[in-house]
Amino acid sequence: MSRRDELAANLAEVNARIIRSCEAAGRDPSCVTLVAVTKTWPASDAVLLRDLGVVDLAENRDQEASQKAAAVGGVRWHFVGQVQTNKARSVASYADVVHSVDRPSLVEALGAGAVRARRTVEVLLQVSLDGERGGALPVDVPALADLAVETEGLRLAGVMAVAPRAAEPAEAFARLQVVAEQVRARHPSATLISAGMSGDLEQAIAAGATHVRVGTAVLGHRPPPLG
Ligand SMILES: *Cc1c(COP(=O)(O)O)cnc(C)c1O
């Protein structure tokens, strides 16, 4: 089977899962956008996915992301990894959407980078649902949202989370949905909820996810990192 056929078959399965989940939740399937996470896979896979109609692609490391964004046009690039402040200028120069904004210094650095590149970058506030992995605590999210809205070069688009390993995804995503509603009450255009990966996209869609970030189920198991 060619790589193109393999990706097409995986995509058909993932799209079927999305449609079934939307139906189960009484939601229109067009409300959910598939973001394919191409990290560790070659730029040629990003091209194949684009040509198969997947125009939202994500990366989690600046160096790899900047190379693929330069090589592959015609897609929206999403950045889903932790951003060190000294990488913010670079990320703001190519990313269309940054899902992992979790602190005021990063909001300011991304805004400065976007202004410098004469771009507008959409930002999602990453919410920590266990107080441990990356993300802002729910209590800190409203002030971070206000700061993002006031920052030139950025557009606040919504919230993002990764389900904690120790929690039930359904319960964790329900808590994210509460935070999302608080943000939207203050900033009505911040409607995106980025949640759900290969293993838990059903639970995320049940809890209102608008964007699912899927790597393994589309591209296969990632090879171990080099070096
Ligand atoms: C790698 C990654 C994904 C995709 O995970 P899979 O389990 O391979 O679908 C989603 N979100 C983030 C933040 C990631 O780093």
Minimal-distance CA residue to ligand 1 atom 4: 215
Q: Compute the average pLDDT of residues 59-80.
A: 98
At residue 225 the predicted structure's pLDDT band, cuts being 50, 70 and 90, is low
At residue 133 the predicted structure's pLDDT band, cuts being 50, 70 and 90, is low
The domain total for the chain is 1
**Within a domain: residue 132?**
yes
Is 213 touching ligand 1 by the criterion CB < 6 Å?
A: yes
**Within a domain: residue 87?**
yes
A 10 A CB-CB count for 187 gives: 17
Contacts of 165 (CB under 8 A, 6+ apart): none
**Within a domain: residue 225?**
no
Structure tokens of 54?
A: 């997947």
**Within a domain: residue 224?**
no
What is the spatial distance between Cα 98 and Cα 134, in angstroms, rounded to a whole number? Answer: 14
Is the per-residue pLDDT at 174 higher than 70?
yes
Q: Give me ligand 1 centre to Cα 215, in Å.
A: 5
Is the per-residue pLDDT at 226 higher than 80?
no
**Within a domain: residue 227?**
no
Q: pLDDT tens for residues 137-152?
A: 999 999 999 999 999 9
CATH code (residue 183): 3.20.20.10
A 10 A CB-CB count for 87 gives: 21
**Within a domain: residue 79?**
yes
Is 211 touching ligand 1 by the criterion CB < 6 Å?
A: no
Structure tokens of 25?
A: 């939740």
**Within a domain: residue 159?**
yes
Q: Give me ligand 1 centre to Cα 199, in Å.
A: 9
What is the spatial distance between Cα 103 and Cα 165, in angstroms, rounded to a whole number? Answer: 22
Is the per-residue pLDDT at 53 higher than 80?
yes
Q: pLDDT tens for residues 175-195?
A: 999 999 999 999 999 999 999
Minimal-distance CA residue to ligand 1 atom 11: 213
Is the per-residue pLDDT at 227 higher than 70?
no
Is 197 touching ligand 1 by the criterion CB < 6 Å?
A: yes
E strand or H helix at 134: none
**Within a domain: residue 149?**
yes
Q: Give me ligand 1 centre to Cα 61, in Å.
A: 12
Which structural domain, as residue segments, surrounds residue 21? 3-219
